[in-house]
Amino acid sequence: MRKFLPVLLIAAIGLSGCGYVRDSRLNPFNWFGRAEARELTAQEAAQETNPLIPERSRFARPDEVDLRDRVAGLESLVVERIPGGAIVRVTGISAAAGAYDVELRELPGEAGVARYEMVSYLPEVAQAAPVQSRRITAATRISDTALAQVRTIEVLSASNALTSRR
């Protein structure tokens, strides 16, 4: 054991100084060549699917259908700047007290317009209530990259729409 350790250290120091292993096929970093750039063909550029995401199976569950309805009306729309983007906060009035699962659902829109609709579930038994108890608020975040392409933010309800422009 006393002779084995010095021999092992001398061999390790001797081999670490060799440049041969660095440039040989024994080094795993040399197994693949350097990256090369190439132009995409028109077919590859037009392809919208991601080849890394597997296609849905025939036995997969269907997507859930969102059955929420638009809220009755909108009161205010506030766009607050934050680091990394903006927060869009909307206050609306639901048709009945007890609305839940409120969300700003994004809608497809024109270029330069971020369009949302304020939706919620209503309780099965609707109760008449004052406006103060039917007031609901929802918010969503828009990143800086998405915000750079947006000039107008529009939120829709069942009876009106609110718009904020830059």
How does pLDDT run across 89-127, given as a tens digit for each residue? 999 999 999 899 999 999 987 888 999 999 999 988 888
Containing structural domain, residue 117: 69-165
| pTM metric for this prediction | 0.62
Q: Tell me if 97 is assigned to some domain.
A: yes
On whether residue 124 sits in a domain, the answer given is: yes
Which of 36-45, 65-74, 104-113, 119-128 bottoms out in mean pLDDT, i.e. has the lowest? 36-45
* Rg (the chain; Cα; Å): 30
In a domain, 18, yes or no: no
Task: Answer whether 125's CB lies under 8 Å from 163's CB.
Answer: no
59 lies in some domain: no
Q: Indicate the residue type of 51.
A: P
**148 in a domain, yes or no?**
yes
